[in-house]
Amino acid sequence: MQAWRIDVVVRSDQQDPMGASALRALRAAALDGVEDVRSRRGYLLAAELTEAQVRAFAAAVLCDPVVDEFVLHAPGATPPPPAGRHAVAVVPRPGVTDPVAHSVQKSLADLRLPVVATGTYRVYDVRGRVDPARLLQVARKALANAVVQEVLLDALPAGLPGEPPLPDLRALPVPLAQLDRAGLERLSQDGGLALDGAEMLAIQRHFAGLGRAPLRMELETLAQTWSEHCKHKTLTGNVRFEGRTIENLLKSTIARVTHTLARDFCVSVFVDNAGIIRFDDEDSVCIKVETHNRPSAIEPFGGAGTGVGGVIRDVLGTGLGARPIASTDVFCFAPPDLPADRVPPGCLPPLSVLKGVVAGVRDYGNPMGIPTVNGGVHFDDDFVGNPLVYVGNIGLLPTARAHKQAHPGDVIVALGGRTGRDGIHGATFSSLALHTDSEMVSSGAVQIGDPITERRAMDAVLRCADEDLVSSITDCGAGGFSSAIGEMAEGLGAAVELQHAPLKYQGLAPWEVWISEAQERMVLAVPPAKLDRLLQVCREEACEATVLGHFTDSQRLVVTFAGTVHADLDLHFLHQGLPVRTQDASYAPPPRSEPKLPPETDCGKALLAVLSDYAVCSKEWIVRQYDHEVQAGSAGKPLCGVRADGPADAAVLAPKLGSLRGVVLSNGLNPRYSKVDPAAMAECSLDEAMRNLVAAGGDPDYTAILDNYCWGNTRDPQALGELVRATEALCALAMTYRTPFVSGKDSLHNEFRAADRTIRIPGCILVTAMSVIGDVRATLTSDGKRAGSLLVLVGVTKDELGGSVYYKTKGELGQNVPRVDHQLGRDVLIGCHRAIAARCVLSAHDLSEGGLGVAVAEMALGGRLGARVDLALVPTGPGVHRPEQILFSESQSRLLLEVAPDRLADLRANLHQVPFAVIGELTRAPELVFHHDGKGLAKVPLDAVERAWKRPLDLDGTLVEAAR
């Protein structure tokens, strides 16, 4: 379609940050010879507008009259690039969500101009001695993502995409009665259904009994509903392990802990989008953590953004609607400096993944107005093909709204974004292994988010909830309408008239509309008497809402499109017909041994090396890009201390404005331990989450936890055995800690098949912990407060350098990975909390990666103080002789406390029998001084600590400078 093209440029006498940023990106991608980059923001307006209309619109809306100017190109014109420059144009591919194009249309309407088709693009005008072919090649990666964007050299987009071909609206049967198991498996694979032979046979049997073939939409619905993503087939299946059969792994481990503990603060567990616990007499808080690994591997920006959007909708659709109040995000990446020859074809460079994911979280979470308050980033080479993107959200809802139930006769309302072809087969895609070609083949499963559409949906849903207009609600996530409506209809029935679904563009077949995972959509069950009011509220909030059908009592899911039946499924079969999977699992410990290292000659240098490891270093470059203040609930920020650069252990929120009641939120994970023993990894995840929580002032006895699995490939018995082992260790500790699981998630196929090798991630269970506290004024930060304070180490330091950062800096893994002494662990958490609640403690910091050395360094740096520590005073276990063991052991259940000298007796009284020792003090001199056995061991200036700790992820090159 022909279009006007409008190039808006920053005037040459003005700064052009977008151009400068592109210049940095090109140089970082090793493109030599670039001297300067200027940017253009391009707009396409369909040719039916007149030149005068376009000119007036550009001047009024597209161009900033203070700093910009614009150039208009007539439809069909082929303007050359600016003299002496190459023009790199980045254009969204057809069908990719382009929210700006929609806003352009809105402004056309506001100016009473014809609302025509629109599009956008960006251009970078590059000056310098560069080879054009090489420029194009670099720009494709450094300035764009080929999955969602096309890159043109010295050309502008020819016009707007034309009308798509008409869709096939027929309800076609898929004949499968004659197929054998292999044939069925092939059908599943060719169709991207991700169903195994047994599942396909069950479907074949079901339809044989009905005497007909399944319609395509029916088969797609079954594939979505039965996907690993939706049904957790592995975790809810049976496992034969070490001579026993575990029936329904999830139920007999994770869920059993919760049901056995029967904590009275649990309001709703495992049944809803998110787990719900009581907050105060009126309200509850709910929490959910999701993974969005696959999409993020292929298109980090869109993948991470829509992950955030998805988990926000999870919370929004919890109970009868919860207000999202905070996000938490944890990532696992390959190290940003991984050499290019170790990045297999088909994988994006780790630094691009990191930057894209951070930008995606930023550009979805911030516009939504939901603070990202807490998180973590972990690094290991084996995440190169499968980066992990954990996205979590918590919400606040009246406890009276915690339960939902649709009724026959309720109207099915779809609300929010429109449906497009984006995200088709996301649920089944996430159940398959990634491979070299995934980047292009699976691009339909990748989407770009539109946060403002979701924000409108959120505003509308919460108003409707406040007015009691809905009887049930859920989000459209994996499987789209098919899963959302299918789940709500369980035990009832539904009649859907799919032709009413609003589409982003024409050309979708009915089955595509039904399973599309287009973002920003919610499904509501609305009593007929309340429908008019609901639609009115949606209009007031400028949020599109459409009636799609109604719930019935037929126990059938019936979907028609313009009168033709496309699906008529027995809901019992849909939800209960999935064959239970039984898998074999085994566990053989990997052959690991302790390295024979010479005694550390320079503990100060070793500490700086540990501080510079990606696992330990400052994440400030990431944190600052997230809005952690919006909603004004922040009472404990991700960065703390006199210069707001110390790391916080957990987030503290006071979500009800004017109330001091609070929520403490933390995470725990260390993928490296999993390489030695997945059981240690699992225990340590829980212990770390709890230590972080307690250090910030959380109450370990009023804490709910979430388990979030990411595993390599659980179809391999050893991998599944590792998972079982990890799960059992986690559950045993959760029983002792009396922390119920309230929600969880799993992503069990994180394997990358490169040409010559298969790369599997280490098994990870992220534990997220959320505590409710009475008064946020009793919470703490990790930064040291006063010179002269005592440094108190609680817990026991053991010979546990296995999997440590210290070993990593020596190129070793080791064997003695930290394990948790359950009773000691609980005593430490309870004792420290009692002391903190009694205001005996000025600051507290958990000991995790990097051990005591890092904890002391971070506490001192946050407070811009020095510290003097005598390692000989540290309570140790057997086999601990060398100072580097004391300094860098990652033994669990340890916290570093800052205590005023006159409060030491109170501290002792509150800690009861928990082992602890005064190991030194905070000092005014800006240096860390370590002694051992009466001898000076190391003296490290604080500014060296700061440089070492901030430099690795100082991606703008401003953090170290800014600290001066």
Partner 1 sequence: MSAPKCLILRAPGINCERETLHAFARAGGAPSFVHSQQLLAQPERLDAYAILAVPGGFSYGDDISSGRVLAQEIKAALGERILKFTQRGGLVLGICNGFQVLVRLGLLPCTQGRLEEEVTLTHNLSNHYECRWVTLQTTKSRCLFLPAGLTLRWPAAHGEGRLVARDPALQRLLLDEGYAAALYVDAQGQPTERYPQNPNGTPLAMAGLTDRSGRVLGVMPHPDRSYLPTHMPDWRRTQIERGQLPLDGDGMVVFREMVRLARAEG
Interface positions with partner 1 (CB under 8 A): 14-15, 17-18, 20-21, 60-62, 64-67, 99-100, 102-104, 106-107, 110-111, 359, 362, 366-369, 450-452, 455-456, 459, 540-542, 624-632, 634-635, 637, 640-642, 644, 654, 657-658, 660, 776-777, 779-781, 785-786, 842-843, 956, 958, 962
For partner 1, which is the closer residue by CB, 106 or 134? 106
Length of the chain (residues): 964
The answer to whether 825 and 892 are in contact (CB under 8 A) is: yes
Per-residue DSSP letters for 626-685?
S--SGGG-EEE-SEETTTT-EEPSSEEE--STT---EEEEEEE--HHHHTT-HHHHHHHH
Q: In angstroms, what is the minimal distance from the CB of 366 to partner 1?
A: 6
Residue carrying structure tokens 């049901």: 259
Query: Please, how many CA atoms are within 13 Å of residue 616, restricted to the half-sphere of its CB?
Result: 32
Q: In angstroms, what is the minimal distance from the CB of 96 to partner 1?
A: 15
C-alpha angle 692-695-697 in degrees, rounded to nearest 5:
110
Q: In angstroms, what is the minimal distance from the CB of 365 to partner 1?
A: 10
Query: Please, how many CA atoms are within 13 Å of residue 755, restricted to the half-sphere of its CB?
Result: 5
Q: In angstroms, what is the minimal distance from the CB of 371 to partner 1?
A: 9
For partner 1, which is the closer residue by CB, 641 or 825? 641
What does DSSP say about strands 741-747 and 703-710: parallel, antiparallel, or unpaired?
Answer: parallel
C-alpha angle 593-594-595 in degrees, rounded to nearest 5:
115
Residues 960 and 964: their CA atoms lie apart, in Å, by 7
Query: Please, how many CA atoms are within 13 Å of residue 576, restricted to the half-sphere of its CB?
Result: 6
- Give me 50's structure tokens: 């007149």
Q: Find the catalytic residue in 206, 232, 259, 292.
A: 292
Q: In angstroms, what is the minimal distance from the CB of 789 to partner 1?
A: 10
Residue carrying structure tokens 């460079």: 349
Q: In angstroms, what is the minimal distance from the CB of 339 to partner 1?
A: 27
Residues 213 and 579: their CA atoms lie apart, in Å, by 20
For partner 1, which is the closer residue by CB, 455 or 556? 455
Residue 133 burial class via C-beta count within 10 angstroms: exposed 0-12, middle 13-18, buried 19 and up: exposed
Q: In angstroms, what is the minimal distance from the CB of 106 to partner 1?
A: 6
822 labelled catalytic: no
The answer to whether 405 and 471 are in contact (CB under 8 A) is: yes
Other C-beta atoms lying within 10 Å of the C-beta of residue 241: 21
For partner 1, which is the closer residue by CB, 520 or 600? 520
For partner 1, which is the closer residue by CB, 99 or 197? 99
Q: In angstroms, what is the minimal distance from the CB of 395 to partner 1?
A: 14
Q: Give the closest residue to 127 by CA, choosing from 4, 19, 37, 193.
A: 37
CA distances from 902 to 598, 802, 875 (A): 42, 38, 22
Residues 868 and 789: their CA atoms lie apart, in Å, by 11
Residues 272 and 412: their CA atoms lie apart, in Å, by 19
Phi, psi of 938 (to 5 degrees): -160, 150
For partner 1, which is the closer residue by CB, 535 or 813? 535
Residues 734 and 706: their CA atoms lie apart, in Å, by 11
Q: Which helix (H) or strand (E) holds 219?
A: helix 216-225
Q: In angstroms, what is the minimal distance from the CB of 396 to partner 1?
A: 11
DSSP state, residue 277: E
Q: Find the catalytic residue in 102, 206, 229, 822.
A: 229
Sequence-ordered list of residues with C-beta below 8 angstroms from that of 308, at least 6 positions apart, any chain: 327, 329, 360, 361, 364, 365, 368, 391, 393, 449
Residues paired with residue 251 on neighbouring β-strands, in sequence order: none
Q: In angstroms, what is the minimal distance from the CB of 543 to partner 1?
A: 8
For partner 1, which is the closer residue by CB, 452 or 503? 452
Q: In angstroms, what is the minimal distance from the CB of 355 to partner 1?
A: 10
**SS3 at position 930:** strand
For partner 1, which is the closer residue by CB, 37 or 759? 37
For partner 1, which is the closer residue by CB, 40 or 216? 40
Q: In angstroms, what is the minimal distance from the CB of 702 to partner 1?
A: 20
For partner 1, which is the closer residue by CB, 278 or 903? 903
86 labelled catalytic: no
For partner 1, which is the closer residue by CB, 304 or 509? 304
Residues 87 and 11: their CA atoms lie apart, in Å, by 17
Q: Give the closest residue to 768 by CA, choosing from 273, 286, 255.
A: 286
Per-residue DSSP letters for 19-80?
HHHHHHHHHHTT-TTEEEEEEEEEEEEETTS-HHHHHHHIIIIIS-TTTEEEEEE-TT--PP
Q: Give start and end residues of each alpha helix (H) in 756-821.
A: 805-809
Sequence-ordered list of residues with C-beta below 8 angstroms from that of 128, at least 6 positions apart, any chain: 33, 34, 35, 36
3-class SS shares of the chain: helix, strand, coil, % to 5: 35, 25, 40
For partner 1, which is the closer residue by CB, 782 or 797? 782
Q: In angstroms, what is the minimal distance from the CB of 84 to partner 1?
A: 24
Residue 146 burial class via C-beta count within 10 angstroms: exposed 0-12, middle 13-18, buried 19 and up: middle
Q: Give start and end residues of each alpha helix (H) in 340-435.
A: 350-368, 426-429
Other C-beta atoms lying within 10 Å of the C-beta of residue 904: 14
- Please list the active-site residues: 229, 292
